[in-house]
Structure 1
Amino acid sequence: MAEDSQSGPTYEEVHRDFKWDVGEYFNFARDVIDHWAETPEKLALWWVDDAGREVKKTFREISENSKRFASAMQAMGIQRGEIMMVILPRYAEWWEIFIGALRLGAVIAPGTTQLTAKDIQFRVQASQAAAFITDEENAPKLEEVLADCPSLRVKVIVAARREGWVNYDEALAVASSEFEAANTRSDENALMYFTSGTVGYPKMTVHTHASYPYGHLVTGKYWLDLGPNDVHWNLSDTGWAKAAWSSIFGPWNMGAAIFVHHSSRFDPKKTLELLQQYPITTLCGAPTNYRMLVLEDLKQYKFPALRHCVGAGEPLNPEVIKVWREATGLVIRDGYGQTETVLVLGNFPYFEPRFGSMGKPTPGFDVQVVDREGNIAAADEEGDVAIRVKPVRPVGLFKEYFGDPERTASTYRGDWYLTGDRAYRDRDGYFWFVGRSDDVILTSGYRIGPFEVESAILEHPAVAESAVVSSPDDLRGEVVKAFVILAPGYEASEELKKELQEYVKHVTAPYKYPRKIEFVSALPKTVSGKIRRVELRRREWEGYKRPASSSQ
């Protein structure tokens, strides 16, 4: 294991010398993957599963298979600019499909395998997706709602054969590998991620070929600290924007190989065994992953290749960082960004981190804490985390919420894009997370809107009214808590709590279910009748010390 080092240029020097350098046209498949593919044996992907099977793919193989996939989709009628929904576990094919879609100029809309049929129906209808790619386990979900998804023309299944679906391997076997990448403009749509908001169903966050595929150059170079000789492991599921950050664009921009562990669940013991067994040099995980890892007996393991660790998704407890450093000699460097951005704040290798801090602004970004008028707040004064977008808009920021100009406009205040998070900046320039400025819940790396959970709970006949907020949790940072008013004829019980939890898991994606339920007789409301979630949230968090409020 290598010690973290602050040798090399200073923070000020890196920022002063940095310049965005994306041209009018950019296609990640052509300009990045095909570039690394010029070295025939250069490793791109190292895949393992729980049964001990391994698959290694070079950049040349990824390039060729992505060309075949683009050829096959084009032959099936999918055109540049059309939306392809991809819901797959950590199959190696996911990476080929991702690159192939970019090569074609199609727009990728990834989703987690935890989505229900109802979730899929909403996403297909809202995006007007033309193609759907998934596996045997998730195909029935689409079939359940297919009659209500008239925009879909193509269905592709991976690692299986199913009536009415095109088999992935068979389609590639007869497709050409001579596909010429679409000459996509840098500002052309490339990705669409669904992200939860305070009200309503998930927003469709649109990224261009510049904002994510090119923009994550700074994520890979400065925060992940990657180079062509690294093997990088990101623990995130393929359905989340974090996979785009750290499982594809960040590492491959830098020519690093991506390590993938295909498993149905996170197993801390297995994770430590893999870190010991394989030459993994850099690790990225959600704080929940690290909290689970430090509960194991770390003295039993040695990680000879590991040199750099990062965490993102929510604040990471300083205590966890200290335990990990004592065991490994490495500091977990916290970073901050959103589905709407690349990494915009981080504890970078070229300066000393402060445990629990969000870090300092990423090169290429002017990030500040601003007040209600858009003025930069004084040191140690709480305000909104904001990114300067005028007079020059930085690369790495989303284009829009698809089909929702009002919601898009609401994220701006004067010269600033507002992230929706509250923080303060200390006198040394480090940012410290305070909380969300809205009611969105961040748990185990997931972003959950209260409306979605409340809507699911209200479908149960026992529930008359419900309010959902975040509640503190030592392992997950925060969890979903539901306050429930029961309908006449129902009585509160532990059995009913469990029934409601299972019901929510069935109605919507399981990760959204309330881990805590409290039965109440009334909910705090405004004079106009709106539930005051802010008051419920304040009650939950009163007296609890958030991890990120501590310093080194």
Structure 2
Amino acid sequence: MPTRLIPSAQVDHFVHDHLPPPGQWPELRFDRHELQLPSQVNAVQALFERAMAAGHADRPFLRSDERTLSYAQAQAEVNRIANVLTVELGLVPGNRVLLRGGNSVAMALAWLATVQAGLIAVATMPLLRAKELGAILKKAQPVLALCDVKLQEELKAALATEPSSAGMTLLVFNTSDADAPNSLEAMARRQCEHSTPCPTAATDIALLAFTSGTTGTPKAAVHTHRDVLAACETWPRHVLRATPDDIVMGSPPLAFTFGLGGLLVFPMWAGASVYFPSVPYTPEGMVQLMIRVGATLCYTAPTFYRQMAAFAKTHGIGKLRISVSAGEGLPDATRQLWKEATGLEMIDGIGATEMFHIFISSPPESVRRGAIGQVVPGYQARVVNDDGEPLPIGEVGKLAVIGPTGCRYLDDERQTNYVKGGWNLPGDAFRMDADGYFFYQARTDDMIITAGYNVAGPEVEAALLEHPAVAECGVVGKPDEERGQIVQAFVVLKPGHAADAAQVKALQDHVKHSLAPYKYPREVVFVTQLPRTETGKLQRFALRSLNGTHRVA
């Protein structure tokens, strides 16, 4: 563990002041040599310096069909953007910057510049609607938004309705008009390509990672510069083992810590390069692009791998050598289907936004069928009962994890649910065998994981209840071979409304327009009443038991 603490370089103390009390923090362990990180370190500066010291200055780093930037060129662009933020706009370390964009070179540069400048990156999913963005604005209170020019509409709607964001600056990027005076790119071109990174303490904040949580109220997981670098020294070092010759591609958004690590931070640490597509991936399109760009490492969810398998069998996989699955449970049938199509043993893993990235996983040569893997070096994990006591081998209980990263929520009473006795409880039920392999059983909360996306049932319920035809509703996850789970809604209609296919579509369209489209219920079941406790609490476990006994209208 670092031997001393240095004062924070972040003069805006908003996030520091809204951390949970230290007694509620997880214990952080830095038992391995590679986790002995400096007390003063800027994560982005450290990653660029690592690349330069390894002789990667002229090697490609960020790729797209439009441009490819070497490490040296990317660093110059990051410096220019950092100067826009601090010199031209006058932002100070600790200010929050909301980032809204899909996966692109411009989005990656904006994130790196934000963190290098000592600001706090608040990346948001491009599919989020105004209501969801408004909740993030209220929680994080950013002073600046950097937004892809194509994604302004919902953000502007959120800004118009959130009082705390009055006066916040909005800059667009990825503009088609290179001379647009209000674009981030145009402003960056006017800046010097040299910039001094903020001398952050290792414990200064690098990012807020939002997760919808089980109640639909957004939770912001706080991660430091040390967290980012510690994450690089665990799973990427010991399991992924990428090299400077790797070309990385994948579908998880940079707004997810899974995507941020896999498609930006970890490739940087390895000296590899990342390819960002110009259009959203499709299963066949990903296979074709993989071949065209010579990708060697791919990240996506099991659902996508299952859909890609047939195309991989037909077209081949080019130079692909590593395929990583995470974001939802990996069915063994999907693993075997992909292996049959490609010859590759998939790397599975479980991580959490609260932990930054993957903490249980195994490299291809150590895979055990049906298991996610073993604990990643640097972490410890065990299966515990409700009192936090370890359970015997083979018994099912709650997963508990401890290591160099851990959960600290921004101003959220749910901190005490996630961290108990210094251990992190991600909310998953597991069993462990005698060799230390962990076997996923289920979620222990009401989170629905569908095609790699997390969906909070109560959030979908709240959206459905805004429809004039809905009297009551309950939303759960239903097992699905293709997606892992689908969102399933049980609805009690108000008198006078027909329980028919037209009503199903109306409710689905309503949710699509209220929330990110992936959250809509793929099945709507009309019932006359919902199962409740004597105190009126909805019994979601009882709804799950109804699966298969009711027909969708």
TM-score when scaled to structure 1?
Answer: 0.89
Cα distance in structure 2, aligned partners of 1:537 and 1:253: 43
Cα distance in structure 2, aligned partners of 1:462 and 1:204: 33
Cα distance in structure 1, aligned partners of 2:116 and 2:131: 30
Q: CA deviation at 1:25?
A: 1.6
Cα distance in structure 1, aligned partners of 2:499 and 2:180: 47
Secondary structure of the residue that 1:194 maps to in structure 2?
Answer: strand
1:491 aligns with 2:507: no
Cα distance in structure 1, aligned partners of 2:217 and 2:179: 32
Provide the residue aligned with 1:63 in structure 2. 75
Secondary structure of the residue that 1:80 maps to in structure 2?
Answer: coil
Cα distance in structure 1, aligned partners of 2:351 and 2:35: 18
Picking from 292, 295, 303, the partner of 1:280 is 295
1:460 aligns with 2:452: no
Cα 1:91/1:19, change in 2 over 3 Å? closer
Cα distance in structure 1, aligned partners of 2:505 and 2:170: 36
Cα 1:484/1:144, change in 2 over 3 Å? same
- Equivalent positions of 1:235-274 (< 5 A) are 235-264=251-280, 266-274=281-289
1:370 aligns with 2:379: no
Cα distance in structure 1, aligned partners of 2:542 and 2:232: 38
Provide the residue aligned with 1:92 in structure 2. 105
1:291 aligns with 2:306: yes
Cα distance in structure 1, aligned partners of 2:158 and 2:419: 37
**What is the CA deviation profile of residues 249-276 of structure 1, one whole-angstrom value per residue up to 9, with x for unaligned ones?**
1211111111222323x31111111222
Q: CA deviation at 1:197?
A: 1.7
1:395 aligns with 2:410: no
Provide the residue aligned with 1:146 in structure 2. 159
Residues 178 and 186 in structure 2, CA contact (< 8 A), matched pair in contact too: no
Cα distance in structure 1, aligned partners of 2:548 and 2:178: 49
Q: CA deviation at 1:422?
A: 0.5
**What is the CA deviation profile of residues 39-65 of structure 1, one whole-angstrom value per residue up to 9, with x for unaligned ones?**
4311111213xxxxx421111111111
Cα distance in structure 2, aligned partners of 1:312 and 1:504: 26
Picking from 390, 410, 416, the partner of 2:423 is 416
Secondary structure of the residue that 1:242 maps to in structure 2?
Answer: helix
**What is the CA deviation profile of residues 74-124 of structure 1, one whole-angstrom value per residue up to 9, with x for unaligned ones?**
121221111111111222111111110111111111111111112212211
Residues 221 and 227 in structure 1, CA contact (< 8 A), matched pair in contact too: no
Q: CA deviation at 1:327?
A: 2.4
Letter in 2 for 1:431: F
Provide the residue aligned with 1:305 in structure 2. 319
Cα 1:497/1:29, change in 2 over 3 Å? same
Cα distance in structure 2, aligned partners of 1:278 and 1:204: 35
Cα 1:19/1:178, change in 2 over 3 Å? closer
Letter in 1 for 2:83: S
Provide the residue aligned with 2:25 in structure 1. none
Provide the residue aligned with 1:426 in structure 2. 433
The 10-residue stretch of structure 1 (467-476 or 239-248) with the greater mean CA deviation from structure 2 = 239-248
Cα distance in structure 2, aligned partners of 1:297 and 1:142: 37
Q: CA deviation at 1:146?
A: 2.5
Cα 1:307/1:180, change in 2 over 3 Å? same
Secondary structure of the residue that 1:113 maps to in structure 2?
Answer: coil
Secondary structure of the residue that 1:108 maps to in structure 2?
Answer: strand
Q: CA deviation at 1:164?
A: 11
Residues 29 and 63 in structure 1, CA contact (< 8 A), matched pair in contact too: no
Q: CA deviation at 1:19?
A: 4.5
Letter in 2 for 1:502: D
Provide the residue aligned with 1:188 in structure 2. 204
Provide the residue aligned with 1:381 in structure 2. 395
Residues 431 and 438 in structure 2, CA contact (< 8 A), matched pair in contact too: yes
Cα distance in structure 1, aligned partners of 2:227 and 2:390: 25
Cα 1:17/1:293, change in 2 over 3 Å? same
The 10-residue stretch of structure 1 (162-171 or 462-471) with the greater mean CA deviation from structure 2 = 162-171
Letter in 1 for 2:313: K
Secondary structure of the residue that 1:401 maps to in structure 2?
Answer: coil
Cα distance in structure 1, aligned partners of 2:254 and 2:395: 37
Picking from 200, 205, 210, the partner of 2:226 is 210
Letter in 2 for 1:403: D
Letter in 1 for 2:345: V
TM-score when scaled to structure 2?
Answer: 0.89
Provide the residue aligned with 2:520 in structure 1. 513
Provide the residue aligned with 2:137 in structure 1. 124
Cα distance in structure 1, aligned partners of 2:419 and 2:164: 35
Cα distance in structure 1, aligned partners of 2:342 and 2:119: 43
Q: CA deviation at 1:471?
A: 0.4
Secondary structure of the residue that 1:90 maps to in structure 2?
Answer: coil
Cα 1:56/1:79, change in 2 over 3 Å? same
Provide the residue aligned with 1:352 in structure 2. 366
Cα distance in structure 1, aligned partners of 2:533 and 2:174: 53
Q: CA deviation at 1:285?
A: 1.1
Picking from 171, 182, 194, the partner of 1:178 is 194
Residues 281 and 308 in structure 1, CA contact (< 8 A), matched pair in contact too: yes
The 10-residue stretch of structure 1 (415-424 or 513-522) with the greater mean CA deviation from structure 2 = 415-424
**What is the CA deviation profile of residues 331-357 of structure 1, one whole-angstrom value per residue up to 9, with x for unaligned ones?**
0111110111121100224x4212331
Cα distance in structure 2, aligned partners of 1:540 and 1:348: 36
Cα 1:385/1:259, change in 2 over 3 Å? same
Secondary structure of the residue that 1:344 maps to in structure 2?
Answer: strand
Q: How many pairs are equivalent?
A: 513
Provide the residue aligned with 1:6 in structure 2. none
Residues 472 and 541 in structure 1, CA contact (< 8 A), matched pair in contact too: no
Residues 19 and 364 in structure 1, CA contact (< 8 A), matched pair in contact too: no
Residues 217 and 250 in structure 1, CA contact (< 8 A), matched pair in contact too: no
Cα distance in structure 2, aligned partners of 1:113 and 1:277: 26
Residues 145 and 170 in structure 2, CA contact (< 8 A), matched pair in contact too: yes
Letter in 2 for 1:43: P
Provide the residue aligned with 1:548 in structure 2. none
Cα distance in structure 1, aligned partners of 2:329 and 2:119: 35
The 10-residue stretch of structure 1 (246-255 or 408-417) with the greater mean CA deviation from structure 2 = 408-417
**What is the CA deviation profile of residues 298-350 of structure 1, one whole-angstrom value per residue up to 9, with x for unaligned ones?**
3322334221111001111212221222222210111110111121100224x
1:440 aligns with 2:415: no
Secondary structure of the residue that 1:22 maps to in structure 2?
Answer: coil
Q: CA deviation at 1:200?
A: 4.2
Picking from 108, 126, 134, the partner of 2:121 is 108
Provide the residue aligned with 1:391 in structure 2. none
Residues 312 and 445 in structure 1, CA contact (< 8 A), matched pair in contact too: yes
Provide the residue aligned with 1:540 in structure 2. 547
* Structure 1 runs not aligned, ≥5 long: 1-14, 49-53, 389-393, 543-552
Residues 504 and 510 in structure 1, CA contact (< 8 A), matched pair in contact too: yes
